[in-house]
Amino acid sequence: MTPEVALPLFIQGNYIWAGVEPSGRVFGLFGIDPVHNNPHLGIVWMVSSPEIMNYRRELVRLTPKWLKRLHRIRPLIGNHIDARNTTHIRWLRRMGFSFLRTHPEFGVEKRPFHEFARLRS
């Protein structure tokens, strides 16, 4: 999806935060959406511009704090990630996410996606 299509869908959730540069420019959004009929599971998501790579250290340092906050909302969090997105797959592993299975034909384009999750410790 293009950002113009995807962003209105993302911002409908109850829990949304932004990564903001010192200049005030937003470089990313992330959040957690509830799963209806499952009070324990939350779908985590993130969209960003390439500028997020300018904040790698901060992202690695601050992610554990944000994961604790997300886990207060839902004890089990997860989603799917494009198997080609190796940079973010490494980051998810480093942050304690487990990879559960690979869906060989996922989504509109029928590409391989990994399902990942993290349980509150």
Retrieve residue 45's tokens. 């998501």
Provide mean pLDDT across the span 54-78: 94
Task: Give the model's confidence band at 15: pLDDT under 50 very low, under 70 low, under 90 confident, else very high.
Answer: confident
Instruction: Give per-residue pLDDT as tens, 16-34.
Output: 888 999 999 989 889 999 8
Tell me, what's the pLDDT at 16? 85
pLDDT score for 1? 61
The sheet with strand 76-82 has its strands ordered as 15-20, 26-35, 38-48, 76-82, 111-119, 98-106
Is the pTM value of this prediction over 0.75?
yes
Q: Is the pLDDT of residue 10 over 90?
A: no
Burial of 11 (0-12, 13-18, 19+ CB in 10 A): exposed
Give the per-residue SS3 of 14-44: CEEEEEECCCCCEEEEEEEEEECCEEEEEEE
Element (H, E) at 120: none
